[in-house]
Amino acid sequence: MTPQSDGAARTTPARRPTIKDIARRAGVSESAVSFALNGRPGVSQGTRDRIHRVAEDLGWQPNSAARALSGERSGCVGLVLARPAHTLGVESFFLQLVSGVQEVLAARKVALLFQVVEDIEAECAVYKRWWAEKRVDGVLVVDPRSDDPRPELLESLGLPSVVIGAPAEGGRQVSTVWADDTAAMASVLAHLHGLGHRHVVHVAGLPGLAHTERRITSLRTEAGRLGLTAIRSVTTDYSDAEGAEATRRVLDSDAPPTAIVYDNDVMAVAGAAVAAERGIKVPGELSIVAWDDSALCRVTHPRLTALVRDTSGFGRLAAEELLARLDGGPVRSLQAELPHLEPRESTGPPARR
Amino acid sequence: MTPQSDGAARTTPARRPTIKDIARRAGVSESAVSFALNGRPGVSQGTRDRIHRVAEDLGWQPNSAARALSGERSGCVGLVLARPAHTLGVESFFLQLVSGVQEVLAARKVALLFQVVEDIEAECAVYKRWWAEKRVDGVLVVDPRSDDPRPELLESLGLPSVVIGAPAEGGRQVSTVWADDTAAMASVLAHLHGLGHRHVVHVAGLPGLAHTERRITSLRTEAGRLGLTAIRSVTTDYSDAEGAEATRRVLDSDAPPTAIVYDNDVMAVAGAAVAAERGIKVPGELSIVAWDDSALCRVTHPRLTALVRDTSGFGRLAAEELLARLDGGPVRSLQAELPHLEPRESTGPPARR
DNA sequence: CGAGGCTACTAATGCGCTTTAGCTCATGTC
DNA sequence: GACATGAGCTAAAGCGCATTAGTAGCCTCG
């Protein structure tokens, strides 16, 4: 008797099996099934095996809503991306990160709820709604800022979270996963200094972001150590337009730099295009370094020297930390593998004066 | 002692208000609250208003798990992206699409479950799991193929879905949203033909994908109409590497084309880089057209002529259709706005022989 | 003036699962 | 031989909501 298998198949999709079905087939109570399937004590090995077999047979999968309602977990974590629509897109960082995150989550059968919003206020609203709706067990936070309202909000909501891209903030009950931008910036500057550059401009990203601030500070410090004075940072919104614009301004200045470091791949490529447009030779007259490697840096001519980091590994690390938090693990601050500089054709010794 | 217990103890997260709380405060039964909040009849206007006020006061939000369990809806739709990790990233199409999707979903308080997997088998497995877990109410399907197992699977699961990027398939209970690639390809070829090109190569994307097939067929048809014989397509995996490789092969052939049409922005830029590397002037000796515009096409020098389409609008359309399906709307096949060609500096008359 | 019908509400049930309390029977203990 | 013990199981409650089946009160109408 399978009423839904044949005739009703057109309109009625197959009914999902429940633990009740398993219980009936295995001749035990629903509780026994629940215990067995969740690895809890209270069932003999024999019964346990039998229940597992029946569940397998029936193709049972836990109904996520029922689980979320009775247990604590929704089996979902959230990620909000707060970016104006027009800056969305070309950057490869994000999808790479997500693919790393997914790898870890999928293995644990945790789903990822994803949302794109316009700004950080909207992002906070999403967190509140998710919390109120009990939609997610925890969240991953990207693009940390220097004065960030999110950790406090999330802590007050009691929503476990992992901030991606910033070192630990004092006192907050929020894990962090980050890369050592300071050391990375030092390696970039060392590379350029070693080639003979004394005048470098850093085209940074959004001024509010924590890692932007870190990179700017670290550049200044490192320049001081090396005794360089003609070093400065300018901020942008990460877009190709502002990257190009900043490049033009910098090249038009009285003392143009011999090297430019860009905070993302898109701006670096845009900068290279500006140089090409003006007939400025790269790396002969201008060296270019991109922070974050991607296909982009390899499709330009010349190919761009880039700071490579394992972005999807970064995502994996973050996801693992979040799962650990959900399992009651302590708040931690994890450091990702140090990025390394991949020298390509866009950097070389500066032209002699 | 542990930071954990300490944090948990002091930040007792606020309890979520339930309809029971509202009922008590408003002095009515839980059912009345449920009716009022869902706009069902059976409550007077006065009571209805009072209940709404109390709910507002308490900051009540429906618990998504409870709703999913009792009602039908989980308030979630899914989107799976099946791409090998390395091809992920640079393409802007996808995030643009998602941002459009989100706009519509967010307005209706529907969440988006997102998953990245390696291949289409894994994708099907995700659909089955989501269905069994009752996690999503419907799904958006991207990258349709010419012989696609997904519509059949989704239909058999009874999971409402919208296929993005392919015209309707005969007999399937699955909505589709698509762009008229045929007309678009015709406009591209008309542009090149008008400039005087008689020898064009089309560097297409993945051979299995439906729109790749459509574009290839349409190119052939259109070439026939114009009486052109030296027209052909080669397929790739959409990556910059294969785009560059295909470009090299094509340029090395006995009769190199005077124009190349690339199926995405990344390959077009890679192709332009190959030309630059070989000292081939664009557009003097080679014209380049990119299918899909993005910042990428504007950061190269020269800027690339591109086929512009409203990708986020496309996403909005798809999301709206899915919501309509969830509301019991009919299966439809919607056509998006026709893409238009944006001529830039990478196309011009071919060099005289 | 009582039957019928309507409005505005309440009570009760169930969704699929987890969890607590309780129950039964075999085993061990002195 | 009375009794504690614990393993292995069942019964039942509850999570927050939607929904169905009432019920009380009022109006209408013949």
Q: Which residues 6+ apart lie within 8 Å of A138 measured at CB? A: A77, A78, A159, A160, A161, A162, A322, A325, A326
**pLDDT for A176-197, tens place per residue?**
999 999 999 999 999 999 999 9
Q: What percent of chain B has pLDDT over 70?
A: 93
**Choice among A61-75, A80-94, B46-60 with the minimum mean pLDDT:** A80-94
Q: d(Cα A162, Cα A322) in Å, to the nearest integer?
A: 6
pLDDT of residue B198: 95
Chain A residues in contact with B117 by the CB 8 A cut-off are 102, 106
**pLDDT for B325-351, tens place per residue?**
998 899 999 999 999 999 999 999 998
Residue A72: Cβ-neighbour burial (10 angstroms; 0-12, 13-18, 19+): exposed
What residue spans define the domains of chain B?
Answer: 3-61, 76-179+312-335, 181-309
- Phi, psi (degrees; rounded to nearest 5) at A63: -70, 115
What is the distance in angstroms between the Cα of B188 and the nearest Cα belonging to chain A? 24
**DSSP secondary structure string for all residues of A131-173:** HHHT--SEEEE-S-BTT-SHHHHHHHHT--EEEESSPPPTT-S
Nucleotide nearest to A132 (CA to C1'): D16
How many residues are recorded in chain B? 353
Tokens of B137: 């109410």
CATH code for residues B181-309: 3.40.50.2300
* A90 contacts B158? CB cut-off 8 A: no
- Phi, psi (degrees; rounded to nearest 5) at A113: -95, 130
Interval A248-262 mean pLDDT: 96
Query: Closest Cα partner for A307 from A145, A190, A166?
Result: A190
Tell whether the model's pLDDT for residue B193 goes beyond 90. Answer: yes
The spacing between the Cα labelled CA in A29 and the C1' in C29, in angstroms, equals 33
Check if the beta carbon of residue A143 is closer than 8 Å to that of residue A84.
Answer: no
Interval A98-111 mean pLDDT: 91
Average pLDDT, chain A: 89
* B156 contacts A296? CB cut-off 8 A: no
> Considering all CA atoms of chain B, what is the largest pairwise distance in Å, rounded to the nearest integer?
89
Domain A7-61 belongs in CATH node 3.40.50.150: no
Interval B190-204 mean pLDDT: 96
A304: amino acid identity, one letter: L
pLDDT of residue B85: 67
Which of A133, A294, A327 should be substituted to probe chain B, the one whose Cβ sees the most B Cβ atoms within 10 Å?
A: A133
Check if the beta carbon of residue A71 is closer than 8 Å to that of residue A35.
Answer: no
pLDDT of residue A83: 81
Q: How sure is the predictor about B86, in pLDDT bands with cuts at 50, 70 and 90?
A: low
- Phi, psi (degrees; rounded to nearest 5) at B262: -105, 145
Half-sphere exposure of A213 (CA within 13 A, CB side): 13
**pLDDT for A321-348, tens place per residue?**
999 999 889 999 999 999 999 999 999 9
Tell whether the model's pLDDT for residue A109 goes beyond 60. Answer: yes
Which of B137, B299, B300 should be substituted to probe chain A, the one whose Cβ sees the most A Cβ atoms within 10 Å?
A: B299
Interval A18-41 mean pLDDT: 94
A211-220 as b/e: b if 16+ CB within 10 A: bbbbbbebbb
Interval A88-98 mean pLDDT: 77
* A88 contacts B99? CB cut-off 8 A: yes
Q: Does the nearest atom of strand C lie within 7 Å of B29's Cβ?
A: yes
Check if the beta carbon of residue A300 is closer than 8 Å to that of residue A270.
Answer: no
Q: How sure is the predictor about A86, in pLDDT bands with cuts at 50, 70 and 90?
A: low
Q: Which residues 6+ apart lie within 8 Å of B55 measured at CB? A: B22, B33, B37
Element at B193 (helix H, strand E): helix B181-195
**DSSP secondary structure string for all residues of A299-323:** HSSSPPEEEE--HHHHHHHHHHHHH
Chain A residues in contact with B345 by the CB 8 A cut-off are none
Q: Does the nearest atom of strand C lie within 7 Å of B64's Cβ?
A: no
Query: Which of A95, A241, A244 is the closest to B88 by Cβ?
Result: A95
Query: Which of B12, B85, B99 is the closest to A116 by Cβ?
Result: B99
Query: Which of A12, A64, A134 is the closest to B16 by Cβ?
Result: A134
Fold exhibited by the domain A76-178+312-335? Rossmann fold (3.40.50)
Chain B residues in contact with A74 by the CB 8 A cut-off are 64-65
**pLDDT for B125-149, tens place per residue?**
999 999 888 899 999 999 999 889 9
Tell whether the model's pLDDT for residue A8 goes beyond 60. Answer: no
Tokens of A141: 């936070």
Fold exhibited by the domain B3-61? 434 Repressor (Amino-terminal Domain) (1.10.260)
Chain B residues in contact with A61 by the CB 8 A cut-off are 129, 132-133
pLDDT of residue A162: 96
Tell me, what DSSP letter sits at residue A61? -
Q: d(Cα B170, Cα B107) in Å, to the nearest integer?
A: 32
**DSSP secondary structure string for all residues of A64-85:** HHHHHHHSS--SEEEEEEE--G
**pLDDT for B207-228, tens place per residue?**
988 989 999 999 999 999 999 9
**pLDDT for A120-178, tens place per residue?**
999 999 999 999 888 999 999 999 998 899 999 999 988 999 999 988 877 788 999 99
Domain B76-179+312-335 belongs in CATH node 3.40.50.2300: yes
A76-178+312-335 and A181-309 in the same fold: yes
Interval B24-52 mean pLDDT: 93
Q: d(Cα B105, Cα B111) in Å, to the nearest integer?
A: 7
Q: d(Cα B220, Cα B136) in Å, to the nearest integer?
A: 41
The spacing between the Cα labelled CA in B39 and the C1' in C7, in angstroms, equals 16
Average pLDDT, chain B: 89
- State the helix-helix crossing angle for B30-37 and B19-26, rounded to 10 degrees: 110
Query: Which of B13, B16, B90 is the closest to A92 by Cβ?
Result: B90
